[in-house]
Structures are given as C-alpha cells and as structure tokens.
Amino acid sequence: MPYVITNKCLGERYGDCVEACPVDCIHPGDYQGQVFMVIDPNDCIECDACLPVCPIGAIVASANEDPDYAKINADLSPQFKNNPPVGTRPKGDPPRRPENKLV
C-alpha cells in the first residue's frame, strides 16, 4: 500500500521527501489555495525513504492511516505530476503552520 502525504504538509512543502525518493513519485502543487505535495500511489514503491526525512511527520506509511488524504493524493497526482520539482528548505526552517512541529 503506497505512502500518503497528509494535511500536515498543507502550506509547508519542505521538499526533503522529494530529494529522498528514488522513483520520483512525490509531486508539488496547490491544494485549497496552499502549497502541498502528493505521493503518486501508482509510482510509490513503499521503500520508506521519504517517511523518516519529513521534518514535520506529514507522511504516513499506509492509506489506511489516513484514507481521506490517500484519496486526495491519488486524485491530485495526475495534475501535480507535470509541475516542476521543489527544492528543500534550509535545515531547521520552522514550520509555517503553528500546529506543526519539527520532529
């Protein structure tokens, strides 16, 4: 079951996961008027590379852990796929949303 980027990423977009992904399955775009990224469930190989590098813990290892965002990732992937990749934010850059904390 592919990994899922959750609502914690909404408005954040750190990019560490993109850099770690060996199959280029993480794509940026805008969702609900904010920056966001999704994991394409058709391309994810469940390698675990992205999970430990997300500085705010916005990735879960199974669609069962967040079925709503699993659907959002799947639905947005086709349109996000053609967007240019994003770079990483500086190490220690604080979250933009106060409810997110660096892990």
How far lies 93's CA from each of 17, 23, 41, 61, 83, in Å? Answer: 15, 26, 28, 24, 23
Question: For 4-80, which CATH class?
Answer: alpha beta
pLDDT tens-digit profile, the chain (103 residues): 899 999 999 999 999 999 999 999 999 999 999 999 999 999 999 999 999 999 999 999 999 999 999 999 999 999 999 999 898 999 899 999 989 989 8
pLDDT of residue 1: 80
pLDDT of residue 54: 97
pLDDT of residue 103: 85
**Per-domain boundaries in the chain:** 4-80
Burial-class residue 5 by CB neighbours within 10 Å (0-12, 13-18, 19+): buried
